[in-house]
Amino acid sequence: MTEQTYVLVLTTMPTEDQALQLAEMLVQNQLAACVNVLPRMSSIYRWEEQLRRGTEHQVIIKTTTGQLSALHGRLQASHPYEVPELLEIPIIGGGRAYLNWVSASVDRSQKPDREKPAD
């Protein structure tokens, strides 16, 4: 059996409601153990050769590498942006109990047996 690897996936959403809907869908479908939606932030970026400014919500998705393909597909299909932010940050360590909880939360053959540990 290979050791499970963990990852944070970052994306942004234009509204809090859209971010919360995405978070609920990912957790409900066991593609993520936990999704954090951060408060509104300002973004400055270049798009179509113009400097743009807007507001967004940062979304932090905690999952395993085994769920990445399905998570990518779901994000691409449901994201409102033409080119959504989709960044993966490997997790190189952490609390064993928390990581076990992440594994159990996204493993469709298991039911998490405890409440979510504190982030």
Give residue 53's domain range.
6-106
What pLDDT is recorded for position 1? 37
Q: Which amino acid is at 54?
A: G
- Going by C-alpha positions, the residue among 96, 98, 31 that lies closest to residue 69 is 31
Task: List the CATH number of the domain containing 87.
Answer: 3.30.70.120
> Is 33 part of a structural domain of the chain?
yes
What are the backbone angles phi and psi of residue 25, rounded to the nearest 5°? -65, -45
Confidence of residue 4 (pLDDT cuts 50, 70, 90): confident
Compare 63 and 119 and report the one with higher pLDDT: 63
Q: What's the total number of domains in the chain?
A: 1
The residue assigned the tokens 């360590």 is 93
> Is 57 part of a structural domain of the chain?
yes
Angle between helices 16-28 and 68-78 (to 10 degrees): 140
pTM of the model: 0.88
The residue assigned the tokens 């990912």 is 26
Alpha carbons 22 and 20: distance in angstroms, whole number = 5
On the question of pLDDT at 95 being above 90, the answer is: yes
Compare 107 and 111 and report the one with higher pLDDT: 107
